[in-house]
Amino acid sequence: MSIRHGLLALLERGPMYGYQLRVAFEESVGGTWSLNIGQVYTTLSRLERDGFVVALPASEGGQRPYELTGPGRTELASWFATPLERTDRPRDELAIKLALAMTTPGVDVAAVVQSQRTSGMRALQEYTRLKVRSDKRAQGDLSWLLVLDAMIFQCEAEIRWLDHCEATILRDRPAPAPAAQPAPAADREEAKS
Amino acid sequence: MSPDVLELRDVHRTHGTGEAAVHALRGVTLRVRPGELVAIMGPSGSGKSTLLNLAGGLDSPSDGEVLVEGTALSDLSHRRLAAVRRRTVGYVFQDFNLLPSLTAAENVALPLELDGVGVRAARRAAIASLGEVGLAELARRFPDEMSGGQQQRVAIARALVGDRRLVLADEPTGALDSQTGEAVLRVLRDRVDAGAAGLLVTHEARHAGWADRVIFLRDGVVIDSSGPLGTAEDLLEHTS
């Protein structure tokens, strides 16, 4: 998610100045993503440059609120209407790490899988504790609970995927690859063609 | 410190002999204290059910020792072992296992009555136990008049009625949808927080997340556990 769209979404509620936007942003993601005020003002300048927000006259206290413009509202609607593509997200470092573990001589893949699974499980336990604690507060903040649930489901998905890796790959794993050696001449010729 | 409610000391369980021997558990050591919920995770055939059966005295180890509230089960006669099972251990199964011809209160009171407690005292304890899982008002309902989640909460009330302190739950959320399963785990967690000890077998990581500790079983061996928890706040800082 871009901070740009986050700020546009918050401004849909009404004009806000930088500090208010920062607080509202952190409240809506339950403290899982903290912004510094510099990031907020840099992003607001760019949004203003692109015509998505407009700065209103400064208040008596000297704060300049920003307001969503028509094009800004269209941009926000388009963001909500467009699903996030897998290619928009960073590469999955864990998948790459496991793929490399499979093909790197001397790596105990089962140990790599298990240490990742334990780490994921521990995170899942912590998120569950946070959720229980949040539920016990009166009418726990719904947006915060949704963010927590997202993290819980991501942990679960990772653990299920690790289980899957273990079951389908580790048990049928071919003999470990020998340590790097020069390929036979014939293979080198083939590789060139 | 409170004594362990359940302890497994280097427990082995082998089915069959010679070349046909199947080693279901190999040297499992485990302790569960009051107020602690421990989840067991592992693929099919990893020994989860064997472990649960041994913990409840339904099966005996080939080697090693199982202790419930400090008593070694192997030292007990059949009669006393049956009494431990009735008085100390409660089970929660995937498919609830409530008797359809009995009301919720009668189902919960049944283990006490089988143990010789008078009908009125057993009913009082059953109503109290139903109250602890938030179902006192459904005491007169029959199982087929309740949702799956409500039936499973009745099963938890039955497992922990009276003085029972050890609940063994075998995939208790397996037959329930995600939200209902979570509500059942919340009740189990509350009852454990109130002083019971719980052993939860599940294949769903999200449900194991409710446990204080998660034990990973593979081929009858504990290969890892989730260990002591850090603080949730630290984790959030790392996420941001």
Tens digits of per-residue pLDDT, B156-182? 999 989 878 899 999 988 888 888 888
Is A42 in the same domain as A84?
Answer: yes
The mean pLDDT value for B131-135 works out to 90
Is A78 in the same domain as A101?
Answer: no
**Does A47 reside within a domain?**
yes
* Chain B touched by A2 (CB under 8 Å): no
Q: Which residue of B has its CA nearest to A127?
A: B232
Question: Which residues lie closer than 8 Å to B124 by C-beta, 6 or more apart?
Answer: none
Question: Which residues lie closer than 8 Å to B199 by C-beta, 6 or more apart?
Answer: B6, B32, B38, B40, B51, B52, B55, B166, B167, B168, B169
Is A8 in the same domain as A69?
Answer: yes
Is A47 in the same domain as A106?
Answer: no
A125: which chain B residues are within 8 Å (Cβ-Cβ)? 208-212, 214, 226, 229
* Chain B touched by A155 (CB under 8 Å): yes
Per-residue pLDDT of chain A (193 residues; tens, 9 = 90+): 578 988 998 898 899 999 999 988 887 776 667 788 999 999 999 999 999 999 999 888 888 999 999 999 999 888 887 777 666 556 677 887 777 777 777 778 888 888 889 989 999 999 998 888 877 665 557 888 888 899 999 999 999 999 988 887 766 665 555 554 444 444 444 444 3
Do residue A31 and residue B214 have CB atoms under 8 angstroms apart? no
Do residue A124 and residue B225 have CB atoms under 8 angstroms apart? no
Position A94 scores a pLDDT of 80
Taking the C-alpha atoms of residue A106 and residue B6, their distance in angstroms, rounded to an integer, is: 40
Is A161 in the same domain as A131?
Answer: yes
Query: Which A residues, 92 through 111, put their C-beta within 8 Å of a C-beta on chain B?
Result: none
Instruction: Give the full edge-to-edge strand order of the sheet including B6-15.
Output: B22-32, B6-15, B63-68, B71-72
Is A33 in the same domain as A48?
Answer: yes
The distance of Cα B19 from the centroid of its chain, to the nearest Å, equals 33
Q: What are phi and psi of B39, to 5 degrees?
A: -100, 145
A154: which chain B residues are within 8 Å (Cβ-Cβ)? none
B236: which chain A residues are within 8 Å (Cβ-Cβ)? 31-32, 130
- Contact criterion met (CB below 8 Å) for B215 and A6: no
Per-residue tokens: B31: 């302790």
**Does A41 reside within a domain?**
yes
Question: Which residues lie closer than 8 Å to A18 by C-beta, 6 or more apart?
Answer: A37, A40, A41, A44, A63, A64, A66
Question: Which residues lie closer than 8 Å to B147 by C-beta, 6 or more apart?
Answer: B180
Q: Find the CATH number of the domain harbouring A39.
A: 1.10.10.10
- Contact criterion met (CB below 8 Å) for A127 and B235: yes
Is A100 in the same domain as A80?
Answer: no
For residue B240, pLDDT beyond 50:
no
Do residue A155 and residue B209 have CB atoms under 8 angstroms apart? yes
* Chain B touched by A130 (CB under 8 Å): yes
B7-18 confidence digits (pLDDT tens): 999 999 999 888
The distance of Cα A125 from the centroid of its chain, to the nearest Å, equals 19
Domain boundary among A33, A53, A88: A88
Task: Give residue ranges of B with CB < 8 Å to any A CB.
Answer: 41, 43, 186, 189, 204-206, 208-212, 214, 216, 223-227, 229-232, 235-236, 239-240
| CATH code given to domain B6-95+164-239 | 3.40.50.300
Is A43 in the same domain as A110?
Answer: no
B68-105 confidence digits (pLDDT tens): 999 999 999 999 998 888 888 988 888 888 999 999 99
Taking the C-alpha atoms of residue A43 and residue A52, their distance in angstroms, rounded to an integer, is: 11
Domain count, chain A: 2
**Does A73 reside within a domain?**
yes
**Does A60 reside within a domain?**
yes
A166: which chain B residues are within 8 Å (Cβ-Cβ)? 43
Is A8 in the same domain as A77?
Answer: yes
Scan for tokens 């006192």, then name that residue: B136
* Chain B touched by A125 (CB under 8 Å): yes
Is A107 in the same domain as A52?
Answer: no
Is A66 in the same domain as A109?
Answer: no
**Does A187 reside within a domain?**
no
Q: Which residue of A has its CA nearest to B229?
A: A122
Taking the C-alpha atoms of residue A180 and residue A48, their distance in angstroms, rounded to an integer, is: 56
Taking the C-alpha atoms of residue A79 and residue A65, their distance in angstroms, rounded to an integer, is: 23
Is A84 in the same domain as A107?
Answer: no
* Coarse DSSP helix, strand, coil percentages of chain B, rounded to the nearest 5 percent: 40, 25, 35
Domain that holds residue A17: 3-88
